[in-house]
């Protein structure tokens, strides 16, 4: 098993890519802490993992709350004895142009997508230090690398911030054996993309920008996250793993 003996905390793990990561991590031997504000769905993922013989626990986690992050790290340590992996997966999306964006819209997305990653990273470092090292995996986006005309400025800015926070973390903590890498998915079949996928014109527009000609599946991202969580990526830090069907290759 690729994650045997490791304890992982995943934010936004109640559905979508986060749930796929949690299920895959558990299959590969990790003990998983499922963090999310969606309690019923999060407990459902916990039950699913346990039904398949894995180990998991749900904790309510609002990623904009430092005290929630500290509680989640405490759950990992009290339940499983340590913390080796953090996946900063939680995030929200949206569309719109700069001149139509309100300050409230900007602040909300930056709070969840960027500050949430900062708080998660800050909160796990002491636990990873005690564990002798660890892996932090931050879910950014292909739009953290390039701009586009049909996504919100705050989404693109927040995901760009995640990319560079990842590099700062990697450089500052490499000597302590704490690695940090960002993952940049393209359009994936999740609840976040459901509205656009349901609109034939929007779906066609998105697919036209993906050389592979389709949306990705959550497991296709989870396999990349699994690699970064495992010791197979021990010499990888401060890097971007792009899983976007070729979007940024054009």
Residues tagged active-site: 155
CA neighbours within 13 Å on the CB side: how many for 43? 3
Provide the token pair at 24: 């895959």
Dist CA 101 CA 97 (whole Å): 6
Q: Centre a 10 Å sphere on the Cβ of residue 75 and count the other Cβ atoms it contains.
A: 20
Tell me, letter by letter, the H, E, C secondary structure of the chain: CCCCCCEEEEECCCCHHHHHHHHHHHHCCCEEEEEECCHHHHHHHHHHHHHCCCEEEEEECCCCCHHHHHHHHHHHHHHHCCCCEEEECCCCCCCCCHHHCCHHHHHHHHHHHHHHHHHHHHHHHHHHHHHCCEEEEEECCHHHCCCCCCCCHHHHHHHHHHHHHHHHHHHHHHHHCEEEEEEEECCECCHHHHHHHHCHHHHHHHHHCCCCCCCECHHHHHHHHHHHHCHHHCCCCCCEEEECCCHHHC
CB 248 within 8 A of CB 183: no
Partners of 57 in the β-ladder: 33
């Amino acid at each position: 098993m690729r994650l045997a003996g490791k304890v992982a905390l995943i934010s936004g793990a109640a559905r979508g890519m986060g749930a796929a990561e949690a299920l895959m991590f558990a299959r590969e031997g990790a003990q998983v802490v499922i963090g999310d504000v969606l309690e019923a769905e999060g407990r459902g993922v916990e039950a699913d993992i346990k039904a398949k013989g894995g180990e998991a626990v749900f904790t309510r986690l609002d990623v904009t709350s430092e005290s929630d992050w500290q509680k989640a790290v405490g759950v990992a340590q009290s339940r499983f004895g340590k913390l080796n992996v953090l996946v900063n997966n939680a995030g929200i999306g949206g569309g719109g142009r700069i001149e139509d964006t309100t300050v409230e819209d900007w602040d909300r997305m930056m709070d969840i997508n960027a500050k949430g990653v900062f708080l998660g990273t800050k909160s796990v470092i002491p636990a990873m230090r005690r564990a002798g090292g660890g892996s932090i995996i931050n879910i950014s986006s292909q739009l953290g690398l390039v701009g586009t005309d049909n996504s919100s400025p705050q989404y693109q800015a927040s995901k760009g911030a995640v990319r560079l926070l990842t590099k700062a973390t990697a450089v500052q903590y490499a000597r302590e054996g704490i690695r940090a890498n960002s993952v940049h998915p393209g359009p994936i079949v999740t609840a976040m993309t459901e509205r656009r996928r349901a609109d034939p014109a929007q779906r066609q527009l998105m697919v036209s920008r993906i050389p592979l000609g389709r949306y990705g599946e959550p497991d296709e991202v989870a396999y990349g996250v699994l690699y970064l969580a495992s010791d197979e990526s021990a010499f990888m830090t401060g890097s971007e793993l792009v899983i976007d069907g070729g979007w940024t290759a054009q």
